[in-house]
Amino acid sequence: MLAGCDSTATLNLTIDNSSTSTASITSCDTYSWNGTVYTTSGTYTYVTTNAAGCDSTATLNLTIDNSSTSTASITSCDTYSWNGTVYTTSGTYTYVTTNAAGCDSTATLNLTIDNSSTSTASITSCDTYSWNGTVYTTSGTYTYVTTNAAGCDSTATLNLGLNISSFSSNNQTVCFGYSYSINGNTYSSNGTYLDVYTSSLGCDSTVTTILTVLPEPIVSIIASGNPTICLGESVTLSMNSWSPANSIYQWSDLNGAISGANSSTYTTSVSGTYSLTVTNPAGCIAVSNGIAITVLSTAVPSSLFTSNIQLDKATMNWGSVVNAHHYDIRMRVQGTSSWSIFH
C-alpha cells in the first residue's frame, strides 16, 4: 500500500487435469468413430472437453481388415459339387464364409451345367447292320458311348432286329374320308389287301393289310334360346348329335379355339359365330355347323338437356340410342338425398 503498511493477498487455487484415452480396434472394411467413418488403418485422435472443462484427447489405433471376394467360372457335365452342395442347373451361386482376417469372404461361382445325352433307335434290317463302325449279325440291344458337342457323354442305344424275308399282317383303321397307303398303293375302303415289296433295307416282305374305315362322324349344335340376346345375358350352345364316350370337345369362334371350352355345351355372352369340333376316341374329327350369336348393347344417352322449365315440371331431352327398348330416368329433388326412378 502507498501508506507503507502490510497488504495480504490470498489465492484459492484448484488445478483440474486434462484427460487422455487410447483404444485399439480391428474392424472389417470400415469403422465409425465419433461421427467419422474410417476406411483405412491408422492412428486417429479426437479432442473434446471433459467433465472438468479441460481437454480430453482420445486416441484410436485402428486396423482395417478387408473382406474378400473370388469368382470362378466352371463348366461341368450333369452335376457339380461346390462347398458341400451339389448343383444340377446352370446359374450364378455365392458362398459366404470368413477369411483369415475374420472378415466376410464371398465366393461367386458362374456355373454352366451341360447335359449328357442319350438316344434310342429301333432298326430292322436284313441279315446284317453296320452301326458306328461295327457290323452286327444278330438281333439285340447295343450301346455306343461317345462325346456330344458339349463335351459330355453321349450314349446311343440301338434296338436291332435282323430279319430274313418275312410275312406280316397289318391291321389299320382310318377315319371316314381318309385312306391308307403302303408300297405305293392307296386304299380307302374296308377290305383285305396283299402287298409284296422290297423294303428300303432290301428284304422281301409280304404284307397283308386288313383295313377298317370307320363310319363318318356327324356333329351339329343348337342354341338353348334366341341367338340374339341383350348385353349381360347369356345363351347356352349344346351338341344335339351323338358321340362316343371319351370324345374330346373343343368350341371355337372366328378367332380360333376357345381356351377351356372343352365340354359338349358352352355358355357365352359375347357376339360371335361358334362351332364345335368333336374328336372321337379313334381320332376322327367332325366339325359342326356354325351358330351366330348377337349381343345387343345400348349406349349412354347424349345431348341431355332440360327445356320448358316451370315451377312444378320440366321437359327432359336427349338423343335417341340405338337398340334402346325404353328409358329410365333417375332424379331427386334439390337439397334431398333420395333418388326416384321414372320409367
Tell me what pLDDT residue 222 has.
95
Cell numbers that stand for 265 in this block: 355345351
Task: Tell me: pLDDT of 339 over 90.
Answer: no
Residue 75 has pLDDT above 90, yes or no: yes
Query: Could you tell me what percent of the chain has a pLDDT over 70?
Result: 96
Burial code (b: 16+ CB inside 10 Å, e: under 16) for 74-110 equals eebeeebeeeeeebeeeeebeeeeebeeebebebebe
Residue 299: pLDDT band with limits 50, 70, 90: low
* Confidence band for 336, pLDDT divided at 50, 70 and 90: confident
Task: Classify 102 in phi/psi space as left (phi over 0), alpha (psi -120 to 50) or beta.
Answer: left
User: Residues 101-110: what's their mean pLDDT?
Assistant: 93
Please tell me the least confidently modeled range out of 25-29, 250-254, 329-333: 329-333
Domains of the chain: 19-65 (no CATH), 68-114 (no CATH), 117-163 (no CATH), 166-213 (no CATH), 221-296 (2.60.40.10), 302-343 (no CATH)
Interval 150-200: pLDDT, tens: 999 999 999 999 988 778 899 999 999 999 999 889 999 999 999 988 866
Residue 71 identity (one-letter amino acid): T
What is residue 321's predicted lDDT score, i.e. its pLDDT?
67
> 201 falls in which pLDDT band (50, 70, 90)?
low
Q: Please, which pLDDT band fits residue 88 given cuts at 50, 70 and 90?
A: very high
Q: Please indicate whether residue 198 or residue 106 has the higher confidence score (pLDDT).
A: 106
For residue range 33-44, list pLDDT tens digits in order.
999 999 999 999
CA dihedral 236, 240, 246, 251 (to 10 degrees): -40
Q: What is the predicted pLDDT for the residue at 325?
A: 64
| Sequence-ordered list of residues with C-beta below 8 angstroms from that of 313, at least 6 positions apart, any chain | none
- Name the least confident of 38-42, 104-108, 220-224, 330-334: 330-334
Average pLDDT, the chain: 90
d(CA 300, CA 319): 10
The yes-or-no verdict on residue 14 having pLDDT over 60 is: yes
The answer, yes or no, to whether residue 296 has pLDDT greater than 60, is yes
pLDDT of residue 164: 80
200 CB-near residues (< 8 Å, 6+ apart): none
Q: Inform me whether the pLDDT recorded for 127 exceeds 70.
A: yes
Q: Can you give the pLDDT at residue 287?
A: 95
Q: Are 254 and 272 in contact (CB under 8 A)?
A: yes
Q: What is the pLDDT of residue 341?
A: 80
- Is 274 within 8 Å of 251 (Cβ atoms)? yes
The rounded distance, in Å, linking the Cα atoms of 260 and 252 is 10
Q: Nearest to residue 124, comparing CAs of 73, 92, 148, 158?
A: 158
Query: What's residue 165's pLDDT?
Result: 78
Q: What pLDDT sits at residue 200?
A: 66
Query: What is the pLDDT, as a whole number, of residue 2?
Result: 63
* Greatest Cα-to-Cα distance within the chain, rounded to the nearest angstrom: 161
Sorting pLDDT into bands at 50, 70 and 90, what band is 1?
A: low
